Amino acid sequence: MRSLIQIPLVAASALVLFGCAATPPERQDNLCEIFEQEPGWYDDAYTSERRWGIPINIQMAIVQRESSFRARVRPARTKLLGFIPWRRPSSAAGYAQAQDPAWQDYLATTGRSRLFASRADMSDALDFIGWYNYTSHQRLGIARDDPYNLYLAYHEGHTGYRRGSWRGKPKVQQTARQVSERAERYGRQLPACEDQFRCAAWWKIWPFCS
């Protein structure tokens, strides 16, 4: 098994939908509207932020870019002889488009069960994103509130980022800028609605929603 630092993650441009666990938000430019449709996602992102220190807006911007909030997407198959569906270019899957080796490293490092953790579950996907970016922070010195460089490391892998593989890839740099811009936009929107989601559920009583 190769280490996660050797495995670049696949960008969302190569994805195709093969299933859906929840209807993706129609308006994905507004984080408050996303959480209004899926309030549980706020809880998932908040839990991940508390555990790993990666801001909610950055987590959600990465999910949007990787899967457009679709639970069961994978890279499109290549075509044999130009028309026969063949192998997929990578093992990336789920909301976070985590590849098999990175996902296995996550499970091993965090002690999560392979039977119960799923890349098609938003809670697990956001915890993976938090863990991966926290690892980028530890190994590469990237600030936890730096969406541009966090995404470069997420896409290129830790070894690729360290080697500067992204410097020769204008499209990857452009994608990282788009993720950064979306994260900043989400970050401006979240304060207007966060209180209603933080204490929304009946069981969220003080001090648990403070």
CATH label of the domain that carries residue 35: 1.10.530.10
Containing 73, the helix (H) or strand (E) segment is strand 72-75
Domain contains 107: yes
What average pLDDT does the chain have?
A: 83
Domain contains 58: yes
Question: Residue 48 is part of which domain span?
Answer: 4-78+89-198
Amino acid present at 43:
D
Domain count, the chain: 1
Comparing 116 with 122, the larger pLDDT belongs to: 122
Domain contains 84: no
pLDDT band at 7 (very low <50, low <70, confident <90, very high): very low
Domain contains 204: no
Q: At what angle do helices 39-52 and 122-140 cross, to 10 degrees?
A: 30
What is the average per-residue pLDDT within 93-121?
88
Domain contains 184: yes
Give pLDDT, residue 208. Answer: 59
